[in-house]
Structure 1
């Protein structure tokens, strides 16, 4: 369930936090991952994020098969159990993007969502300038369902944020 063609999903480890902290201070990573201003996370902020657990959140480290290298993080969060809906997210370190690791990790997460968590729907948001992520989500069968018009401003320009969704019945992994 946690091994794909290129990556495996594991628990997050304390030693992963240093890479995660560094990536959050890089524009290419941080501006694709969330809408917050870019900033270096303190050790405490990263540790708080790392230790934040609930029955609504399932977070995994992405690692290559056979190695312990921390490549990124993926999660199903804020699950509404009554409705069987969860938010899906992924963030790969800059040096691991564009090699098919993200698709492999997302396929594992969808399989986990449908077959282990028994979710009905996964949803995610993505900024209009993150074309590689949009292409990946659409390749995985996510459908664009809405637009948050001019949601954020970066470098003096307004950008839309798209809402994508996928139902368990639309997945061949189910």
Structure 2
């Protein structure tokens, strides 16, 4: 578990699979995901069982601390222990979880986990280019825009461009003063009391 000020990251467990399925079936969420088909309970169960067997993936729930409710999901895919790289991603599933600072803190906690606990050398991710808010957030964390995959995903009736972003371990450590400012901002603005 990774503990934050506003949210904690906790390992994905079976109790959350229906919550995730409902989020993924919501137009507010699947609009930003590369796979956007309706997910049945059986498909979600199969996904979860496959996830348990696949050691190259790590999924964690984003739990809002004040009410202890799930608000999102973060993950590492394609964890490569030889090259020390992983692809990462996230989504905030609950409406309450959006625009409340939860995504920013969840991103920080997952990056910290990847570099400080898994000792990865590089994280990378893929984001639709129309999702400028998330690309901007990644850049605040030091991610570099590494390229554009033109018309890479067929989505909502047309081909969409995808941005590739990446962050190296040394860039993560160089960004520590920026992260500290963000964390201090959370402490000052949080109404959560321990």
TM-score (norm. length: structure 2): 0.81
1:55-66 aligned within 5 A: 55-66=55-66
- TM superposition shift of 1:66: 4.5
Counterpart secondary structure, 2:109: helix
Cα distance change on mapping 1:137 and 1:5 into 2, 3 Å: same
Matched, 1:29 2:29: yes
Task: Give 4+ residue runs of structure 1 displaced > 4 Å after superposition.
Answer: none
**1:114 corresponding residue in structure 2:** 115
Cα distance change on mapping 1:29 and 1:144 into 2, 3 Å: same
**2:37 corresponding residue in structure 1:** 38
**1:123 corresponding residue in structure 2:** 124
- TM superposition shift of 1:155: 4.2
**1:11 corresponding residue in structure 2:** 11
Structure 2, gaps ≥5 residues long: 177-194
- TM superposition shift of 1:63: 0.2
**2:82 corresponding residue in structure 1:** 82
Between 152-161 and 43-52, report the one with greater CA deviation: 152-161
1:117-156 aligned within 5 A: 117-156=118-157
More helix by share: 2
- TM superposition shift of 1:61: 0.5
Contact 1:3-1:65 at 8 Å conserved across structures: no
Structure 1 Cα separation of the partners of residues 147 and 115 of structure 2: 23
Q: Say what the alpha-carbon RMSD is for the aligned residues.
A: 1.7
Structure 1, gaps ≥5 residues long: none
Contact 1:3-1:9 at 8 Å conserved across structures: yes
Contact 2:146-2:165 at 8 Å conserved across structures: yes
Number of residues of Structure 1 aligned to a counterpart in Structure 2: 171
**1:164 corresponding residue in structure 2:** 165
TM-score (norm. length: structure 1): 0.90
- TM superposition shift of 1:106: 0.9
- TM superposition shift of 1:122: 0.2
